[in-house]
Amino acid sequence: MNLRASRQPELRTVDVTRYVIPLREGGSLPALVEADDGFLYVLKFRGAGQGAKALIAELIAGEIARALGLKVPEIVFARLDAAFGRSEPDEEIQDLLRASEGLNLGLHYLSGAVTFDPVLTTLDSRLASQIVWLDAYVMNVDRTVRNTNMLMWHKELWLIDHGAALYVHHTGPAWPEQSRRPFTQIKDHVLLPLATKLDEVDADFRERLTSERIAAIVSLVPDEWLTNPTISESPTEQRQIYTRFLEDRLASSEIFVNEAKDARKALI
């Protein structure tokens, strides 16, 4: 087992010191920023689009991927000072910065990385199966041919952009009941044709993702992202809901694994 994957998850906190450039590829206007540790980060704003829930999905799905031995850029909490956006001339960006004061989420910028192209780079079937399994488990709708959300960096594959995972937490108070639903969107996964070892990966990952590990990852979600006057549950109760959802989904993994296998058969 990957020794790094067995460690207790831990996130650093950095202070954003410089807004470098907006990254307008996505609707949520992420940005490249510099922090007080001297590193560049892709910053995901709490005040954008889907709000804090997108950051929660990014954190949980990204750290689950890391725990399973897959490569994900370091995730950090990125603190945005109230005065940070006052000199920003773009009104849209200024509004976004103002709405995102406090804790946001950053991913270490992989300088020189290139977008994964399935035509140019062929992955082995086990790695492809691992990524398909992960995305079916966390219900990530955003790993398609149009938008692979994978980078090649130093000849290794890195996974990015998990904010669209766990999309059911946007659907209302009954979302935890959807833990056992199939993930039909897996049919559009860019790596599905190569995913020939899903049963093998399922057995391995079910062993790695213990209840303790899931709870430890979910415990990283800060209260600040879970405080909402429209939600009756406390931050602690909400974390328990996420943990239970992920545990229940793992316990019935044959549902999403079989859905992926059937979708793959339909492709080939």
Q: What is the pLDDT of residue 268?
A: 77
- Mark whether 124 and 70 lie in a shared domain: no
Structure tokens at 149: 């959300």
- Mark whether 139 and 182 lie in a shared domain: yes
Query: What pTM does this model have?
Result: 0.93
Residue 102 carries which side chain, given as an amino acid letter?
G
- Mark whether 158 and 73 lie in a shared domain: no
Which of 57, 82, 108 represents a domain boundary (last residue)?
A: 108
Q: What is the pLDDT of residue 2?
A: 43
Q: What is the pLDDT of residue 204?
A: 98
Q: What is the pLDDT of residue 189?
A: 98
- Mark whether 153 and 260 lie in a shared domain: yes
Q: Which residues, given as ranges, of the chain have pLDDT below 50? A: 1-6
Q: What is the pLDDT of residue 1?
A: 40
Q: What is the pLDDT of residue 25?
A: 60
Q: What is the pLDDT of residue 97?
A: 85
Which of 75, 108, 141 represents a domain boundary (last residue)?
A: 108
Evaluate whether residue 1 is within a structural domain. no
Domain span at residue 189?
Answer: 114-267
What number of residues does the chain have? 268
CA-to-CA distance for 245 and 176, rounded, in angstroms? 6
